[in-house]
Amino acid sequence: MKEKTNKQTMRSLPLSERPYERCLKHGPGALSDAELLATLIRTGTRSLSAVEVARTLLATYGERDGLACLMRLSCTELMALPGFGPVKTVEVLAAAELCRRMAKTMRRPELSLKDPSSIAAYFMEDLCYLPREEMRAAMFDTRNRLLHEETLSRGTVNASLVSPREVFLEALRCGAVYLVLLHNHPSGDPTPSEADLTLTRRLSEAGDLLHIPVMDHIIIGDHRYVSFREEGLLRPPAGP
């Protein structure tokens, strides 16, 4: 009971600095990043208010990309900060995941095989924050609709780790007629490597044999992308 009373709550702040009251009066757009986080955190520590706990988080991890740092953080990293136990950690990371999924859902109607930028935008939030390489396949039907997403590998992406057999068995299983490959470069630079080129050629040749053409390979960097199709590195057969 004593610990609860000693904790800094929103009510200990001056009225003008209370996020809940400011949100009700002026709307959520009036809140700073730290104040928005504080509405999730709710309580602080004995020496820090909830807003100060949020500011500490942003100062520690968000110097480069602000609130987007929540997409990169692990439970261990968050719980190392003052004021974060298991419950608050789960609540904050779950809120970040909700934002990511909402952004992705909103972009789905814009997906088009004719527009690599629409595919890159759809997968950007999934892939650009990952600490290691991950390759995915996006499978489309004859009407240009996304049927299925499949993770092909985690870790270094190269020809020896991605099996054409597994890729195209999954494509056949879900009735796909077109395939788009995607993977991320954790360095932030989406420039294709020689291994990327080799893997793309290998999977493209397999797709041609099975009549499930690889329409593109998109590499995601730090909110940037490179499309093999746009760069003339992959010339898919006639189609969308």
Supply angle C-alpha 37, 101, 108, rounded to 5: 140
DSSP 112: -
| Segments making up each domain of the chain, as ranges | 2-104, 111-227
| Residue 106 scores a pLDDT above 90 | no
**Could you report the per-residue pLDDT of 14-38, keeping only the tens digit for each?**
544 578 888 888 888 889 999 999 9
Pick the closest to residue 177 from 201, 143, 227 (CA basis).
143
**Could you report the per-residue pLDDT of 36-87, keeping only the tens digit for each?**
999 888 888 888 888 999 999 999 998 888 888 898 899 999 999 999 999 9
Q: Please give the model's pTM, rounded to 2 decimal places.
A: 0.75
**Could you report the per-residue pLDDT of 108-165, keeping only the tens digit for each?**
888 898 899 999 999 998 899 888 899 999 999 998 899 999 998 887 665 446 788 8
Q: Do domains 2-104 and 111-227 have the same CATH topology?
A: no
Q: Give the architecture-level CATH label for domain 2-104.
A: Orthogonal Bundle (1.10)
Q: Where are the alpha helices (DSSP H) in the chain?
A: 2-6, 19-26, 33-41, 50-61, 75-79, 86-107, 116-127, 164-173, 194-210
* Domain spanning 111-227: CATH 3.50.50.60: no
Please report the pLDDT score of residue 109 as a whole number: 84
